[in-house]
Structure 1
Amino acid sequence: MKAMLVTGLGLGPRGMKYESIPEPIVGKGEIVVGVRAAGVNFADSLMLNGRYQTKQPLPFSPGLEVAGVVTAVGEGVFDHAVGDRVLAIPSYGGYAGKVAVPAARAVKIPDAMDYVTAAGFPVAYGTSHLGLWHRARLKAGEKLLVLGAAGGVGLTAVELGVLMGAEVIAVAKGKAKLDVAAVQGAHHLIDAEAPDLKDAIMAATGGAGVDVIYDPVGGALFEAGMKAAAFEARALIIGFASGEVPQIAANRLLVKNVDVVGFWWGAYADKAPATMAQSFRTLIGWWEEGRLRPHVSDTRPLALAAEALELVLERRSTGKVVITVDETEST
């Protein structure tokens, strides 16, 4: 089969190689998915540099979310069959024609859901829903600040926040990205380069401050969001796309009784799979009801996966970027 291989760390997206490699062998409790599409995430770049939460042995293919067809079923698997259409979340290996995945990490997709939509669904929607619902305890009527609101996870946080009944303040860089957040229902739009971001956020809330901060960016945006936190606010730490990990002043947490909540969505696949499955059931149900509108801004074929990842790293995309895989690349 074909795959995009990382053969050395620190080489960047262009260091990946399009190669022919052996197909995976299905193990006990696993399925093999013939990949038709793979979602692209900022975390993929961390893998390329050896900076992700888990380390992969070289050579490897990045890729944390795929959609495709089950081609093999391992011993002890009873809830999947060859031919099932699924979305799945491998630990890595999604930039390839096939990938072996624990069966518990795969979910059947509706017949009406195409593979590109499905491949861009798990990480972005899963992160935002599990984070807002389970970790941040977002309630209807609360004020939700979404930083990086036009990115892969940020845009789903806007959409889900609106669906869950929150008043959503979207922060993104430039009118074009803010327009995308507006389409997904954001109630207030703030340019990330506003002269005084904290004042702009406070003005949008009528001076009340925000109840939940959704932050996949870090750096100066997080600092501004924390300054605009309301009493008993919750700050949800998703990631650090800016490259700057903020240092949090404990006295600020004390004065406003603020919770800072760490959230790594991928850990739930192993630590609390039932909670992740419940989240997926809710999300797929909402999609079937027409209440979610996934936004995929760009696709690239597998051989051009480096271009796809660069779109994400250089913030030239909105919503999701997805790699498409031809059926011939699986054999």
Structure 2
Amino acid sequence: MQAWRVHRNGEPREVMRLDEVEPPVPGEGQVLLRVLAANVNFPDALLCRGHYQVRPPLPFTPGIEICGETPDGRRVIATLDPGASSGGFAEYAAVDAAGVLPAPGALDDAETAALHIGYQTGWFALHRRARLQPGETLLVHAAAGGVGSAAVQLGKAAGATVIGVVGGPDKARVARELGCDTVVDRRTEDIAAAVKEATGGRGADVVFDPVGGDAYTASARCVAFEGRIVVVGFAGGEVPAPALNHALVKNYAILGLHWGLYNTKDPAAVLRCHDELTALAARGAIKPLISERVPMKAAADAVQRVADGVTTGRIVVVPGTAQDTAPDAVPEGSTTR
């Protein structure tokens, strides 16, 4: 089978190589899935760079989120262990059977591949951690990105007024199409001032922050009385150092979310969330924003562009497309430049 493998750490476009390898052999408690679609996540880039929390042994196949087909023909969602050598950017993947979930019938393969991590993260951040209420104002940073777009849709589904922060006019257009009530372009506007203006001076009740750095600083300036800032990640590359005296005098909460912990600490909550997301998808309240569906040969370039922050929504790798079998398909052992 074909599989992208990382033989040394570095930038995804330089270190990912399309190889011909044997399909993985499922271990105890695992099942072999045919990969129907593999979502590209920012952690895939971190794995390539060797900057993720875990470092799988070289060579390894990145790709931590897939829609797959079981041996008996069922369409399912699966997430893969980022510390393992077998990942989702391949034609087949071995996954833990206990973590396999049914694919929502309302979503196609690419949308299904992009559902689990992003929307579970958004749901737990907004509902489990921040306790978002109908009528509250939600501020979402990177609102046109993969995780941010999920938070926008979930916020609207919960009855919140949503303010989306983006970088540039193209991403602003996407945020408006997603349903943001107000869109702030961080490149040309002062985020805190724009949020205060949009809320009549009150500020945002809940802040969803997967960016960190300057985004967090702006959030602290415009969070409402008894507001909640949920720290989801640091895609901007800078981990902020919050001024706790500021949180004290303004009466707001700083909440952390490491969604992956729920898989071990409270797996039943993950299953309940999946049921809720499936119901929301069935009624059309959520639908992953797929900006591109690319063939297998384009996976390295897709991971690089996600790493560079130049994409909107989700890029999904779809193995077995016509482009993969075209004469210009990447030969074994070569790299996509």
**TM-score with structure 1 length normalisation?**
0.92
Q: Which of structure 1's runs of 4+ aligned residues deviate more than 6 A?
A: none
Write the distance in 2 (CA, Å) between the matches of 1:45 and 1:110: 27
Q: Equivalent of 2:76, from 69, 81, 86?
A: 86
| CA shift digits 1:84-130 (9 cap, x unpaired) | 11011111311111111112221111445321111111122121112
| CA shift digits 1:49-87 (9 cap, x unpaired) | 22212221111111110001013xxxxxxxxxx221101
- Secondary structure (helix, strand or coil) at the match of 2:39 reads strand
Whether 1:24 aligns to 2:24 is yes
Q: CA deviation at 1:195?
A: 4.2
Q: Equivalent of 1:139, from 125, 133, 138?
A: 133
The residue correspondences of 1:40-119 to structure 2 (distance < 5 A) are 40-71=40-71, 82-92=72-82, 93-119=87-113
> Residue type matched to 1:100 in 2?
A
Q: 1:33 to 1:327 in 2, by over 3 A?
A: farther
Q: Equivalent of 2:201, from 167, 191, 207?
A: 207
Q: CA deviation at 1:191?
A: 0.7
> Residue type matched to 1:34 in 2?
R
Q: 1:283 to 1:111 in 2, by over 3 A?
A: closer
Q: CA deviation at 1:46?
A: 0.9
Q: CA deviation at 1:194?
A: 3.3
Write the distance in 2 (CA, Å) between the matches of 1:276 and 1:43: 20
Q: Are the aligned partners of 1:214 and 1:236 in contact in 2 as well (CA < 8 Å)?
A: yes
- Secondary structure (helix, strand or coil) at the match of 1:325 reads coil
Matched residue pairs, number? 319
Residue in structure 2 matched with residue 324 of structure 1 by the alignment: 318
Q: CA deviation at 1:315?
A: 2.5
Whether 1:237 aligns to 2:231 is yes
The runs of 5 or more residues in structure 2 that have no matched partner are 325-337
Among the aligned pairs, what percent are the same residue? 39
Q: Are the aligned partners of 1:299 and 1:308 in contact in 2 as well (CA < 8 Å)?
A: no
Q: Are the aligned partners of 2:12 and 2:301 in contact in 1 as well (CA < 8 Å)?
A: no
> Residue type matched to 1:300 in 2?
V
Root-mean-square deviation (CA, aligned residues, Å) is 1.7
The runs of 5 or more residues in structure 1 that have no matched partner are 72-81
Residue in structure 2 matched with residue 294 of structure 1 by the alignment: 288
Write the distance in 2 (CA, Å) between the matches of 1:191 and 1:112: 32
| CA shift digits 1:128-164 (9 cap, x unpaired) | 1121111221111111100011000101111110110
Q: Are the aligned partners of 1:194 and 1:200 in contact in 2 as well (CA < 8 Å)?
A: no
- Secondary structure (helix, strand or coil) at the match of 1:23 reads coil
Whether 1:183 aligns to 2:177 is yes
Of 288-297 and 243-252, deviating more is: 288-297
Write the distance in 2 (CA, Å) between the matches of 1:25 and 1:269: 24
Q: Are the aligned partners of 2:12 and 2:304 in contact in 1 as well (CA < 8 Å)?
A: no
